[in-house]
Structure 1
Amino acid sequence: MTSWQQAAADDAALMNDFQTICRFGGRLSGTGQDEAAMEWALTRLREVGPDVRRVAVPYDGWRCLSGSLTLLGDTPVNLECVPLLRSASTDALGLEGTVLDLGAGRQEDFERAGDAVRGKIVLVRHEYPFSKGHVHRRRKYDMAVAHGAAAFLIANPLPGAGPLSGSSGRPRDGAGIPAAYIDHEGALALCAQPRARVRLLIQGEELRDSMACAGILDLPGGRDSRIVISAHMDGHDLGSSALDNATGVAVALAAARILAGQLGPGTPGLRICFFTAEEWALAGSARYLADMAATERHALKLNINLDTVAGDDTLCALISDYPALAGVVESAATRAGVPVSHWLPFMPNSDHANFARHGIPALRLVAGFDKPQSCVRHILSRGDVPDIILEGEMRNALAVTCAMASLALGMTDQELDALKSGSTCPRI
């Protein structure tokens, strides 16, 4: 057993912290569950170091007041649906229209349908989010809007798993259409009827300038530069948001405890960042970084973002089009004694994306990459509960996180700045 594996095995609080976070519920931003969980996490961070602060972060919130989907016909059938966060509303009587099934809902599917999309209620399929060819829900929604669809339905492809939850990404005052997740069985019912007609009712309330928060622990070293370990606290309200992202928060807390003793006169400092409003198109970390003074942002040399780090026995680092990070991942995996693959293309699917866009080398550690049959398939669903998480997966993620951070803490600022070389990541 390597030293990092031993350190991970010796952290007695890891799984208790994980279970505690899950007990706060799904932690959807705006429900109060995320706030309560953050207060608990700040208390835990104060046990590691005194410089703990709570940063208010404004975002455009939204509340679902009602949502329903009815398959029309001689005998109307109510189908289960979950409106996407920040969905546009229908009128009070709902929106009636014809369903157009576009299969996966990729660019070629929209192009093939052409003008037939206009005025239709488009049906597409959700894809396993951690795969090389994945097309994100928000891209499909944006294509539906651009092609003139009247509404957007996205189906969970897994039988018996219910609908999913997620954000439309619709910005304040942005063009948008009513949008909802449905389950696999609902999609089958719609596809069984040629030119099926439905009534979609979504009533939502805009909550402009809502306040989320970021919880920050700063552990000083001997230099102004910082290595950042981040994770998001918020989730969705269908399950317990165990995968996404109680796993990441619990591992980040444990990493802070383990790494605090490694800081000294020759090292950069370590910053732990817990974000909320991540599930709202990464709004929390985006605003946190945008509002930061340029000098402080320049001091952030590397972001290790922990999001869904268990649910399978394989780990992958999404290195955000920063090719020099591949060497860091490989060296850390060797030090941790835990295999870790890496994927170079920029994937804007968690808070690391906002760091990367600001020119900060950033990676997301994730479990189950390219393994759609893993337990990670339960993400965003009612099945995202603590029972699907294995302790060994959590401890491997902790060992890898500590090995990566320790490696970075041992680098000079010049070596850390060199991690930016070769990147073509889109910048803000």
Structure 2
Amino acid sequence: MRLTPLLIALSLSLPSLSAHAAQKPTRIPDAALATAAQLREQALADDTGWKVVESLTTEIGPRLAGSDADARAVAWATAKFKALGFDKVWTEPVTFPKWERRSEHASVLGTHPQPLTVTALGGSPGGTVEAEIVRFADLAALEAAPEGSLAGKIAFVDYQMKADRSGSDYRNGGAIRSRGPSAAIRKGAIGYLMRSAGTDNHRVAHTGITRFDDGLTPVPSASLTIPDADQLARLLARGPVKVRMALDCGWDGEATSYNVIGEITGRSLPKEVVVIGGHLDSWDLGTGAIDDGAGVALTMAAGHLIGQLKQAPKRTIRVVAFANEEQGLYGGRAYAEKHAADVRLHQIGAESDFGAGRIYAFNTSAPDYARDATRQIAEALAPLGIEYQADKGGPGPDISPFAAQGLAWGWLAQDGSDYFNLHHTADDTLDKIDPKALAQNVAAYTVFAYLAAEAEGGFGSEPRQVRPPQE
């Protein structure tokens, strides 16, 4: 999962004045609003979302992109869409480099020998390094280190992420994971350790993808559990610390997975689609419940509930279980590339990829002519405890590549206060999901998707180039 910087998100919401000046205002009919109210209450009492995420996490478990389990997840999703009554189900291929984790070990050597609990960062090479560690308080301190000062040493970045509802500090924690190894290599380091990009205090490490800049030779890179990072800091206060780290992991050719897509066909504008979804892959330590089994399940459930109506919505509801989000938005990028010519046929898109906490805020990128329709959706969401925040939000991760080409987006903000206690860890398991909170999410996505599909007019999707959000 990644976050969208606010300024970029806002830039996506700015309409072209000349393009929209003559647009007729978008509105949602009263009959659709009445149906949405019924759907909302039905969804709150329905357990389809829970049943779907229970099935995925129990029958498939961890789903590292390119693994055998990933292939089984694709088959699972295809069958689940059909079982839930989607009238059109298909797959679209997504090819990417394949990374594998086999084993990982680390320990303190010398006067105070003891094991450390670590996990390799996705994209790390394998290898064994044994060297003194040098601690840095944050990424800026590492980047400011003198050239050559880490020659023959292991860099250790000890930044503690801060928890909040929006998860805003992930921009710092995520940057330490993605940019830190390259910064360490430039200073001469032979290995890289970081305090996990998390907010828990459990002895479980947080993985996640890292990158190595072109021209650099990658080095073994791993994250420490937060208690182990604290332990290292205390040991360093007593004197130099030497660590041995052995990682067995690395890239192994290419793999092909699939975006799995299910549709509820619209009654009068079937070629126009409202897109919702989550990503099907997960990291390999837990069972991918909050990241992102919940997103897949709740959007499948929303489509299913809309599909049970006696009259189909005006536009098609399309639910996408995206491939390999975790290692670089591969599924989202593939979808945007394949459907680039059909931006205008995409009414609006939204992705759930921030756990299963209750949704507390809503907005869209709609231009002025569709703002009243956004407010109508917000009013239908208000009984769920969701506030309209007209100046906030952005596209979800896998939606962002298409939003960069002009797709209108919806933002349904989940409470992530404890999300980074679990994110990319062995603790990401089904028991962490609150069924009632999940049902609230299902209700919100059901209302949003149905009303967007029933709107008289659009939400601003049009071909245009916008700087893509950065991971």
TM-score, normalized by the shorter chain, greater than 0.5: yes
Separation (CA, whole Å) in 2 of partners of 1:346 and 1:15: 26
Q: Secondary structure at the match of 2:384?
A: coil
Q: Gaps (5+ residues) in structure 1?
A: none
**Match 1:121 to one of 154, 167, 181:** 154
**Match 2:201 to one of 126, 150, 159:** 159
Separation (CA, whole Å) in 2 of partners of 1:352 and 1:115: 40
Separation (CA, whole Å) in 1 of partners of 2:400 and 2:316: 22
Q: Which residue of 2 aligns with 1:296?
A: 342
Separation (CA, whole Å) in 2 of partners of 1:302 and 1:174: 40
**Match 1:77 to one of 114, 117, 124:** 114
Q: Which residue of 2 aligns with 1:235?
A: 282
Separation (CA, whole Å) in 1 of partners of 2:109 and 2:363: 44
| Sequence identity (%) | 19
Please say if residues 60 and 172 of structure 1, whose CA atoms lie closer than 8 Å, have aligned partners that are also in contact: no
**Match 2:89 to one of 49, 52, 62:** 52
Q: Which has the higher contact order (CA 8 A, sep 6+)?
A: 2
Counterpart residue type for residue 258 of structure 1: L
Question: Is 1:135 paired with 2:171?
Answer: yes
TM-score (norm 2): 0.77
Deviation at 1:35, TM superposition (A): 2.3
Separation (CA, whole Å) in 2 of partners of 1:167 and 1:279: 7
Q: Secondary structure at the match of 2:460?
A: helix
Q: Gaps (5+ residues) in structure 2?
A: 1-35
Deviation at 1:305, TM superposition (A): 0.3
Q: Which residue of 1 aligns with 2:444?
A: 400
Q: Secondary structure at the match of 2:298?
A: helix
Counterpart residue type for residue 346 of structure 2: L
Separation (CA, whole Å) in 1 of partners of 2:277 and 2:316: 14
Q: Which residue of 2 aligns with 1:25?
A: 61
Q: Secondary structure at the match of 1:225?
A: strand
Please say if residues 14 and 251 of structure 1, whose CA atoms lie closer than 8 Å, have aligned partners that are also in contact: yes
**Match 1:182 to one of 211, 224, 230:** 224
How many residues in Structure 1 have an aligned counterpart in Structure 2? 415
Question: Is 1:16 paired with 2:51?
Answer: yes
Q: Secondary structure at the match of 2:77?
A: helix
Separation (CA, whole Å) in 2 of partners of 1:405 and 1:143: 39
Q: Which residue of 1 aligns with 2:7?
A: none
Q: Which residue of 2 aligns with 1:305?
A: 351
**Match 2:135 to one of 84, 87, 101:** 101
Counterpart residue type for residue 264 of structure 2: L
TM-score (norm 1): 0.84
Please say if residues 405 and 466 of structure 2, whose CA atoms lie closer than 8 Å, have aligned partners that are also in contact: no
Deviation at 1:261, TM superposition (A): 5.4
Deviations 1:251-280 (A, max 9, x none): 111111122356979833221110121111
Counterpart residue type for residue 54 of structure 1: T
Q: Which residue of 2 aligns with 1:417?
A: 460
Counterpart residue type for residue 155 of structure 2: V
Q: Which residue of 2 aligns with 1:201?
A: 246
CA RMSD, Structure 1 to Structure 2 (Å): 3.5
**Match 1:384 to one of 418, 428, 436:** 428
Deviation at 1:53, TM superposition (A): 0.7
Separation (CA, whole Å) in 2 of partners of 1:170 and 1:275: 25
Deviations 1:327-367 (A, max 9, x none): 76654342031233559677787323223223212345452
Q: Which residue of 2 aligns with 1:360?
A: 407
Question: Is 1:35 paired with 2:71?
Answer: yes
**Match 1:65 to one of 90, 102, 109:** 102
